[in-house]
Amino acid sequence: MRTFREALCFFLSIFLLTSTAFFEAAAAPGWSAAQAVGKPNTLVAGDKESAWASLQPNNGGEWLKLEYANPVEIKTIRIRENYNPGAITKVSAFTKEGTESVIWKGDEPLKEAPNTFEILADSTVKSQSLKIYLDTARVRGWNEIDAVQLVGKDGFEQWAVAASASSTYASKFEHTVASLPPVVVKTVPQAGDRAVDPSLDKISVTFSKDMITKRMWSFSQISTDTFPKIPEGKEIGYLGDNRTCVMPVKLEPNKTYVIWINSPRFNSFRDIDNHPAVPYQLVFKTK
């Protein structure tokens, strides 16, 4: 007969085992490469987090690489697509030594989702590693893959056990310098300065990241009389560092100026990944 302590340990270990398994299943972030592992679980058409999606849609070349438990001579590959099929351009297989050989190449036929794109390989290549190439600019929207089946010449069917990708929409939710918006790191003059030289002929703002520089800015006002005049013929523009935007101004003495650099309403200051900069209010006063 078990002692109470043994029984408690037994129940605790069962609990820990189940919670670990649950954690692993739940831990694969939505749209990550890991969502293409295992059997299909995205049976209806649409943008679903139980399938892999690249970070950007319509961005050109992307790939999804899948690993399988058992090497086989490839007979058939079945690619389950749940959203905007038709972007696959090539499928290759890797040998144990790492040599990549093309199994199929071409323009995937355009079909309605959900779709199974079936490739009859008839290949003597023995492999447990596939790479699917897409041209995401070919079919509008995200081109999502739910699962990929590898069928051997011996009839053995398997789903992927691991996956990686050129990019994933899951990284949208990671907190990295790349995923978070740019902020203002410097202005000339500085916010709060009460003794700005009125002969200053430009206001410059520097952001924390590389920005979209081509006519993308948003200096806005809270009232006409607190916004500086821009001299005729002068233009706003970025410096060569791609981070500093300069606005030519004509200031008046003894006056308070208020300038939104992006605002709750306008947000054309954007980094190269199209994240709008966090709004910043620049307030200063001239001598």
CB neighbours (10 Å) of residue 17?
10
Between 130 and 282, name the residue whose CB sits nearer to Ca ion.
Answer: 130
How many residues touch Ca ion under the rule CB under 5 A: the total is: 5
User: What is the C-alpha separation between 84 and 38, in angstroms, rounded?
Assistant: 21
**Amino acid, res. 55:** L
Minimum CB distance to Ca ion, residue 51 (Å) = 5
CB of 55 to Ca ion, least distance (A): 18
Give the shortest CB-282-to-Ca ion separation in angstroms: 48
> Which residue type occupies 39?
K
Find the binding residues for Ca ion in span 15-74 (CB under 5 A). Answer: 35, 41, 50-51
Q: Between residues 81 and 146, which has the closer beta carbon with respect to Ca ion?
A: 146
Q: Give the span between the Cα atoms of 210 and 191, in whole angstroms.
A: 22
Stretch that binds Ca ion, among 112-120, 140-148, 182-190, 242-250 (CB under 5 A): 140-148
Smaller CB distance to Ca ion: residue 35 or 92?
A: 35
Residue 275 CB, nearest approach to Ca ion (Å): 28
* Cβ proximity of 277 and 261 under 8 Å: yes
Give the residue at shortest CB distance from Ca ion: 146
83: region left, alpha or beta (phi > 0 left; psi from -120 to 50 alpha): beta
- The residue (of 69 and 102) whose beta carbon lies closer to Ca ion is 69
Q: Give the footprint of Ca ion on residues 177-236 (CB under 5 A).
A: none
Q: Which is nearer to Ca ion, 64 or 93 (CB)?
A: 64
Nearest-approach distance from CB 175 to Ca ion, in angstroms: 25
* In the complex, least distance from residue 48 CB atom to Ca ion, rounded to whole angstroms: 8
| Candidate residues 146, 189, 279, 286; the one interacting with Ca ion per rule CB under 5 A | 146
Q: How far is the CB of 111 from Ca ion (least distance, A)?
A: 18
Name which of 41 and 213 has its Cβ closer to Ca ion: 41
- Residue number, 50 or 84, with CB nearest to Ca ion: 50
**Angle, vertex CA 167, rays to CA 164 and CA 169, nearest 5:** 110
Beta strands in the chain (DSSP E): 61-83, 88-94, 100-105, 115-120, 126-135, 144-152, 157-159, 162-165, 184-188, 202-207, 219-220, 237-238, 244-248, 256-261, 280-285
Name the one residue in this structure whose structure tokens are 């990550």.
Answer: 32
68-127 residues near Ca ion, rule: CB under 5 A: none
Q: How far apart are CA 153 and CA 114, in angstroms?
A: 26
| Pick from 121, 55, 117, 118: nearest CA to 86 | 117
Q: Which residues bind Ca ion (CB under 5 A)?
A: 35, 41, 50-51, 146
